[in-house]
Structure 1
Amino acid sequence: MSRPSCSHCLRPQSHCLCAHIQPCHNQHPVLIMQHSSEQQHAKGTALLAYQALAKAELIIGESPDDFQQLKQRVLSQPEAFALIYPSPLSQAIENQVTRLNKALSANKPLQLIFLDGTWRKAKKLWHLNPWLQHITQFHFAAPPEGQYVIRKTSIDKGLSTIEAIAYSLQVLENLDSQPLLKALAALKQQQLAAIPEAYRHRYNKQKATSG
């Protein structure tokens, strides 16, 4: 029999994180394309970000058919969107702050798209949805050190989804990212507590993953 879950954070009631989710009033709308394999992952962070952010959408799938409505919105107005993903065409987001702030001051903030999943799954989302290549793409030139040590990654300086969102909004609109990072910290501590103490030290040496 499955354990009863919280209707809000969708985690088991014994591991509910709602008390750690504080509201963040972001100005740039956040759109999270979550790979379907990530939906039930206990270590995923996208749902925490979605629940905390005032302006956010979480869309689950893999193929263009799964994201049909978003695809139509993007292709009808590609200049209104930006993808946060280190593609071959991406630019350092830190170098575009002045230009993006002008759009924000004109009340036309970019809608930011994030790919949620392991790096392999995020890359799959990128390749299966070539319509994403029609919009501006950004990567991080100087990201903070990832704190999500409970998921492995082969990507240097990889961040979890909630960390990537927090850093993007901090750079673009000077958002106080602490509510997002505190929710991540609560999830991390919860997961570490479930690991036998004899093995817990291994996770202090790991870097974060996209997830």
Structure 2
Amino acid sequence: MGNSVLALRQKQLLTSKKEFKARGAKLKRCDHCLIDINECICDGIEQAQCGLAVCMLMYHNESFKPSNTGRLIADIIPNNFAFRWDRTEPDEALLTLLKDPQYQPIVIFPEDNVSPARIMSTIARENDKTLLLIFLDGTWREAKKMIRKSPYLDDFPVLAISPDKMSEYKLRVAIHEHHLGTAEVAIMVLELAGEHDAAKKLDRHFTDFREAYLKCKKR
């Protein structure tokens, strides 16, 4: 399976009626990593051996943003899915995926915004099912809106991540210091799930991406 976030991005580009212009729009970017071609990090991408799946539920134009790190997760985890979030008309393929009996869906989201009854602090895998980690990919305000207005997620448990260090994610500024970028959260969750190879490779990929991205921002 390829990178579903890039596939979603391409699909949105073909159907969008308005051109999306990110910061640094004049840069000549690599079509895959979306970094300046002079700082391309694609040669360092190494897919992991991983026994779980990831689903990126992306706010409106999130897939367009070069600063998005959900794309990095899809580079590393072979079994990956991405969908554009829609409040009133959720993608039928997303709903089908969530109902697929081969998967065990878990929503990744901070515990202070979810009913305590849904919270889980450890990952217990169900027999014969593949974990499906659902990441709400957007700004903090957008992610809160997504979980609040997505009733099809209400029946799934929520794995809450409370990091004990300040985020290294300096690409965009969150409202609260303790909110991490999507890739950083994924690294922690992968470790918790025992997927150490995937966590290590995603950590390395995120580090390469962050350094290259910040270098380009200074130009």
Counting only pairs closer than 5 Å after superposition, residues 170-189 of structure 1 correspond to structure 2 as: 170-176=191-197, 177-189=199-211
- Displacement, 1:9? 3.0
Q: Figure out how many residues of one structure are paired with residues of the other and give that number.
A: 190
**Structure number with higher helix proportion:** 1
- CA separation of 1:69 and 1:195: change in aligned 2, threshold 3 A: closer
Query: Per the alignment, in what secondary structure is the counterpart of residue 74 of structure 1?
Result: helix
Does structure 1 retain, via aligned residues, the 8 Å contact 2:36–2:216?
no
- Displacement, 1:121? 1.4
- CA separation of 1:3 and 1:196: change in aligned 2, threshold 3 A: closer
Per-residue CA deviations over 1:38-63 (Å, capped at 9, x if unaligned) read 12212111111111112211222333
Indicate the percent of aligned positions where both proteins have the same amino acid: 21
- Displacement, 1:129? 1.5
Query: Per the alignment, in what secondary structure is the counterpart of residue 159 of structure 1?
Result: coil
Structure 1 gaps of 5+ residues are 198-211
Q: TM-score, normalised by structure 2?
A: 0.74
Per-residue CA deviations over 1:155-209 (Å, capped at 9, x if unaligned) read 3421111111111111012423121112211221123223449xxxxxxxxxxxx
CA RMSD in angstroms, aligned pairs only: 2.7
Q: Give distance in 2, aligned partners of 1:62 and 1:78.
A: 25
1:59 equivalent in structure 2: 83
Counterpart among 43, 63, 67 of residue 67 in structure 2: 43
Counting only pairs closer than 5 Å after superposition, residues 20-169 of structure 1 correspond to structure 2 as: 20-75=44-99, 80-86=104-110, 87-89=113-115, 90-93=118-121, 96-97=122-123, 100-101=124-125, 103=126, 106-142=127-163, 145-169=166-190
Structure 2 gaps of 5+ residues are 1-24
Q: Give distance in 1, aligned partners of 2:26 and 2:215.
A: 21
Does structure 2 retain, via aligned residues, the 8 Å contact 1:34–1:58?
yes
Instruction: After the TM superposition, list the runs of 4 or more consecutive aligned residues in structure 1 that deviate by more than 6 angstroms.
Output: none
Q: Give distance in 2, aligned partners of 1:184 and 1:38.
A: 17
